[in-house]
Amino acid sequence: MLNELIERYPSLKVCKGDIEKAISLLTDCYERGGKLLLCGNGGSCADCEHIAGELMKGFMNKRPLSSEQKSEMQGKCDSISSDTLEKLQSALPAIPITSFSALNTAFSNDVEPNLIYAQSVLALGKSGDVLLTISTSGNSKNVVEAARVAKGLGLDVIALTGVGGGMLARLADVTIRVPESETYKVQELHLPVYHYICAAIEKHFFG
């Protein structure tokens, strides 16, 4: 599957090892009951939402609830219909902290704009979780500060950047540096990378 990605996007061959490391970190996180936090700005903010969407519902595979899950849920709430339980899909928890518009604007206005994501990481992050940071330069101040707080809390950090890696490359446990430097070209390569990561994790957990 990774070879297919490289075949379609040959320039990503240099990222192969780091993509595999990122998948391993995320798989370990979910296996121990952890969650994924995501942050980025602009197009990278949209990518955070996109990734959460792929992980929180079926992406390439169906994810029906198990018979045990359905029985347990109906045992706790007998008004949940069988139809609802048939339509719900198993999910991997992924929180785009970019989405907290009230919190982020309030903290930006009242305290410090560069710490908006750091505040959410402090509130939600636990040791064993993963923070995925997305920045084409690797130097977005609010993303870098979030990575620092994540490391301070014992989270693993994955960075998705352009070729330079920036400050995030110094902080992250794994940095996927796609081999472009212009913003739109970096973003064009980020999408197939995170699509592959989401597909690989989904396959691991849901087959």
At residue 1, the pLDDT reads: 78
Fold of 2-56+91-206: Rossmann fold (3.40.50)
Q: What is the mean pLDDT of the chain?
A: 97
**Four-point Cα dihedral 161, 151, 49, 204, nearest 10:** 90
pLDDT values of the chain reduced to their tens digit, one per residue, 207 residues: 789 999 999 999 999 999 999 999 999 999 999 999 999 999 999 999 999 999 999 999 999 999 999 999 999 999 999 999 999 999 999 999 999 999 999 999 999 999 999 999 999 999 999 999 999 999 999 999 999 999 999 999 999 999 999 999 999 999 999 999 999 999 999 999 999 999 999 999 998
Query: Rounded distance, CA 99 to CA 11, Å?
Result: 32
pTM of the model: 0.96
- Nearest 5°: phi and psi at 78? -75, -5
d(CA 183, CA 135): 9
pLDDT digits (tens, 9 = 90+) for 163-183: 999 999 999 999 999 999 999
List of residues 6+ apart from 28 with CB closer than 8 A: none
Q: Are 49 and 98 in contact (CB under 8 A)?
A: yes
Domain ranges of the chain: 2-56+91-206, 66-90
